[in-house]
Structure 1
Amino acid sequence: MKGTADTFKWILVVGARPNFMKIAPLIRAIAAHNNKNGNRIEPFLVHTGQHYDVRMSDAFFRDLQLPEPDVHLGVGSGNHGEQTGKVLIEFEKILLQEQPDLVIVVGDVNSTLACALAAVKLHIPVAHVEAGLRSFDRDMPEEINRIVTDAISDFLFTPSPDGDEHLLGGGIPKEKIFLVGNIMIDSLLFNLEQAKKTSILSLLGLSNSNADENPAMPSIPYALLTLHRPASVDNRETFNRILAGLLEVALRIPVIFPMHPRTRKQMHTFGLDGNFVFHDALPVDMSSYRDQNGLMPKIHCFEPFGYLDFLQLMANAKVVLTDSGGIQEETTVLGIPCVTLRDSTERPITVTEGTNVLVHDDPQKIVAEVSKVLEGRSRKGRRPDLWDGQTAERIISVLSEQLTSG
Structure 2
Amino acid sequence: MTWYKSGTVSVVQNSNAVVGTGTAFIANSRVGDAFRGPDGGWYEVTNIASDTALSIAPNYIGATNATGAYALAPMQGYVKDSADALRALVNQFGGVLAVLGETPTQAGVRSALNLTNTDGLPEGPTNKYMTAAGVRGTTLTGLDLTVKTPVVATDTVLAAFGKLQASKADASSLSTIIDTALISGLIPSRPSPTSLTFSTGTAYIPGLGRRITVTADITLSGLALASNTWYYAYLYESSGVPAVELVATVPTAPYMGSARTKTGDTSRRFIGAFRSAPSGGVLGFTMGNDGMINYRDNLIAAPYRVLSNGAATAPTIVVTSAIAPINVTKSVRLNMNNNGAPVANLAPGNFNVTMVGADPGGKVSCDTTLDDSGNLWYFNSGTGGSLSIDITGYGMDR
Is the pair's TM-score, using the shorter chain for normalization, greater than 0.5? no
Name whichever structure is richer in helix by fraction: 1
Name whichever structure is richer in strand by fraction: 2
Q: TM-score, normalised by structure 1?
A: 0.23
Q: TM-score, normalised by structure 2?
A: 0.23
